[in-house]
């Protein structure tokens, strides 16, 4: 498990790398800045804040190096501190050069605007009109896409409603089939019961007929052959 001091050193190094990259990005933004001076001033304010944070983290790393027990680790960290300090000085030099380049570019642009005067204003107006027309076209396209999406959603809702209705119809038909199945089952039971009843009735009729014939034969026997 890493010691708290090692964790702090690792965090300091990560923060230093992060701030260094952010400073470099801001310096590049200054190089690309075409004005006005308020925009340049805002970028410089951000750079100052990042340099302050970077300097604070380097100082923390230096303090951690001085607190190391092993001399080898202490020297290694101090070497890292020195490298970070050199990198920060290099960034400060690049920052000053970027500011000088940007200010010269802004001055040249302002002079060109003064010389061109109305022509530049007309060009800007044309550009704004072109941008407004492009924006209007894009807005119309987006509205068209929105309408198409709305239609698709409506069609999906209708399809979903159709599926729901179809599902309901199938469920109703299934219930009817169940009801018909119950009726058929009951009819089958009644037919089976009727067939059994019919068989019983035939048997009783047969027995009654046999009894009747036996009675007739008995009477005939007594009348015709009384001596038997």
Q: What is the pLDDT of residues 64-120, one digit of tens each?
A: 988 888 889 889 999 999 999 999 999 999 999 999 999 998 888 888 888 876 565
- Domain-located, residue 212: no
- Domain-located, residue 142: no
> pLDDT of 163-183, one tens digit each?
777 777 777 767 776 777 777
> pLDDT of 30-67, one tens digit each?
999 887 889 999 999 999 999 999 999 999 999 998 88
- Domain-located, residue 183: no
Please give the tally of structural domains in the chain: 1
Give the count of alpha carbons within 13 A of 53, CB side only. 18
- Domain-located, residue 1: yes
- Domain-located, residue 184: no
Contact criterion met (CB below 8 Å) for 16 and 37: no
- Domain-located, residue 95: yes
CA-to-CA distance for 4 and 10, rounded, in angstroms? 10
Tracing tokens 């022509």 back to the chain, one arrives at: 119
Quote the domain boundaries for residue 53. Answer: 1-119+157-172
Instruction: Say if residue 26's pLDDT is above 90.
Output: yes
């Amino acid at each position: 498990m890493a010691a708290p001091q090692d964790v702090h050193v690792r965090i300091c190094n990560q923060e230093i790398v992060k701030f260094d990259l952010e400073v470099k990005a801001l310096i590049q933004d200054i190089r690309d800045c075409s004005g006005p001076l308020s925009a340049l001033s805002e970028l410089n304010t951000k750079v100052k804040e990042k340099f302050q944070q970077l300097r604070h983290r380097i100082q923390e790393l230096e303090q951690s190096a001085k607190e190391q027990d092993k001399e080898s680790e202490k020297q290694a960290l101090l070497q890292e501190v020195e490298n970070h300090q050199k990198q920060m000085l290099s960034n400060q030099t690049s920052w000053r050069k970027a500011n000088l380049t940007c200010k010269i570019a802004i001055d040249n642009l302002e002079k060109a605007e003064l010389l061109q005067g109305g022509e530049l204003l007309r060009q800007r107006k044309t550009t704004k009109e072109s941008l407004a027309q492009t924006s209007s076209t894009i807005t119309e396209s987006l509205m068209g896409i929105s309408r198409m999406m709305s239609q698709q959603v409506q069609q999906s809702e209708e399809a979903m409603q159709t599926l729901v209705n179809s599902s309901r119809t199938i469920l109703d038909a299934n219930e009817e089939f169940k009801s018909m199945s119950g009726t058929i089952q009951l009819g089958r039971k009644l037919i089976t019961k009727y067939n059994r009843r019919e068989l019983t009735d035939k048997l009783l009729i047969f027995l009654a007929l046999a009894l009747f014939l036996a009675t007739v034969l008995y009477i005939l026997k007594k009348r015709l052959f009384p001596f038997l």
